[in-house]
Structure formats: structure tokens, C-alpha cells
Amino acid sequence: MRKHNKLIKRTKGEMIFEICNYVFLASLTLVFVLPFLTVLSTSFVSSEEAARRGSFILLPNKIDFSAYKILLAKGSLIWNGYKITLFRVVVGTTLNLTATSMLAYGLSKKKLPGRNAIIGLIFITMIFTGGLVPTYLLINSLGLVNSIWVLVLHMLINPWWLIIMKNFFAQIPDSIEESASMDGASAFTILFRIILPLSTPILATIGLFYAVWHWNSWFDAAIYITENTKWPVQIIMRNIVLSMSNSDLNQEVMSDLLGAPPPPVTIRSALIVITTIPILMVYPFLQKHFVKGIIIGSVKG
């Protein structure tokens, strides 16, 4: 027993390595977390404290909610922008997953006529695009300019994520589908009642990719939508960050505030927090499927 304890006893070098490893990981975590904490703290800074201590403050002396009162006031564009963004994330991700899974399921069948040609055309779209002007002309001819549907229909399928999902479907044993076919199940029944329930990891992974893309995307809305009532919250955030002023905010609410309004850096920090918190709350529930889905879906082509 004593001999066994001596064998599993760590050496001095291993202990030093473990300590250095913990210090490195803790420092790396601090590097990632500190900027977000700084932005969060700055969003609670009043105009007086900002003038006295500078722009970014890690520990404010007094918590001030003026920036949040302005951004989240009744009638503010932020609420309307959130509605557009939530519509885009929920409806867009649902349509993306539906279209991607249906096409990926068909392409996963080696007996599909013209399968290689279709995969080749999809691969070309990963390298070449039509360009901004032709794309805008196409969107305009379809009548989608200044329509919220342009946010979810102009990029319905991502080619790379389609290939990952196709590879995942290709690894499901054919015997499962053959048994269902013998029982009279159609292709749609097999896909939605057998294949998709077995594909939770890849659906969660690709769904998270689509949702994050929809949540962060702003360029398409800036190009195709000119009416501010149809802007997602990312466009509003971008305008405030670039304007370096409070001119885009609800002026009536600002005039009702007691004292001086918060500085622009506080407004921008509060807006970053408002647009970041929701996606951070969703991510932990899907994280367990994240790595598994990517690894399984990329093993074979």
C-alpha cells in the first residue's frame, strides 16, 4: 500500500506545472471577462462620476440607472428593435433549420440523382458570391426591400452548415430508414419523426449558429431596410455607437430626467449590455450539444 502511494505521488515538476497551468487559465479567464465587466460597470456610471473619473470605470461609486431608463423607456426604438430581432431569431432560425435539414437529408442519400452536381454548386457558393449590387437588385425585384421578411429569407441556407448536417445524417444507419419504409412511412415522416429526433446534437449546434448569426447581423438590415420602425436592435446599437451622441434616443424622456443625462459612453455601454445578455442566457443550455455536434458532423464527407 505504501509502495502504491509512492507511485501515485506527484513530482515537484508536476506540481509546478499544475500551478502554472491554473495561473495561466485564471489570467486568460480574467482577460476575457474583464472587458465585459468594465462595460457592465460603465453602464451604471452617472455623468458627474464620468466627468470626474474618466470614461471606463470598473467599480462605480454609485449605481445610476439613467442610461437604462432612457434606452428602455416607453416608446423607445429599442423595444421595437427587440421585437424585430426576436422575430428574426425565432422565425429565421426555424426556417433555416427546416430548409437546411430537408436539403441535407436529401443530399445524404448517395442514390440521389445528380447528387454530386448539386453538392458542387453548393460548394461554389462558398467561394463566389453574386456581389452586393446584383443581390440588391434581386431582393428589390422580389419586393422584399423594406420588409422584415428580407431578414430571414435572403440567406435561408448556409452552405458550410449544410455540409456539416449532411455528414451527420449520412452516419445514421440505413437500416432504421428501411424498417420505417417497410412499415409504410413516407420520406417526410422518416425525416421529421425518426431522423430529426436522433439528430438533437447537430440541430442544437447548427440552430445556435443560425440564432447567433441572426442576433448579431446588421449589415443586411442596413442595406435593405430604410424605415427605422423595422430596424433590428443591432442597427439601433450601431447608430448610437457611431454617432457618439444621444441624438438617436428618446428626447422627451431625456428632458424629463433630473439633472444631466448620462454621457455617451454610458449609453453605449448600457446598449451593449442590453443586446448581449439574452444570447448569453441561451448559450449555456445548448453548450453541451455544441462540441459533440460539430465533431460527429465532420467525421466523414
How many Cα neighbours within 13 Å face the side chain of 135? 12
User: Which grid cell is 106?
Assistant: 436529401
**pLDDT of 289:** 61
Q: What is the largest CA-CA distance in the chain?
A: 82
Query: Which class for 81: exposed (0-12), middle (13-18), buried (19 or more C-beta within 10 A)?
Result: buried
Between CA 274 and CA 71 the distance in angstroms is 9
User: Which grid cell is 222?
Assistant: 442596413
Kindly report the pTM of this predicted structure: 0.73
**152 and 95 Cβ atoms separated by less than 8 Å:** yes
Hunting for cell 501515485 — which residue is that? Answer: 8
Domain spans in the chain, listed from the N-terminal domain onward: 65-301
Residue 172 — φ and ψ, nearest 5°? -75, 130
Between CA 233 and CA 215 the distance in angstroms is 9
**pLDDT of 259:** 43
- pLDDT, greater one: 6 or 197: 197
**pLDDT of 250:** 47
Q: What is the mean pLDDT of residues 20-31?
A: 90
Between CA 95 and CA 204 the distance in angstroms is 14
CB neighbours of residue 189 within 10 Å? 14
pLDDT in tens, 233-284: 888 877 776 765 544 444 444 444 434 567 777 877 888 888 788 777 777 7
User: Would the pLDDT of 204 be above 70?
Assistant: yes
Residue-level length of the chain:
301
Q: Helix 159-170 to helix 264-297 angle, to the nearest 10 degrees?
A: 30
Q: What is the mean pLDDT of residues 134-148?
A: 89
- pLDDT, greater one: 120 or 45: 120
Between CA 143 and CA 24 the distance in angstroms is 54
How far is the CA of 59 from the CAs of 38, 253, 271, 276, in angstroms? 8, 27, 19, 20
Between CA 46 and CA 151 the distance in angstroms is 36
The 3-state secondary structure of 78-89, one letter per residue: HHHHHHHHHHHH
**214 and 275 Cβ atoms separated by less than 8 Å:** no
- What CATH number does the domain located at 65-301 have? 1.10.3720.10
Residue 184 — φ and ψ, nearest 5°? 95, 15
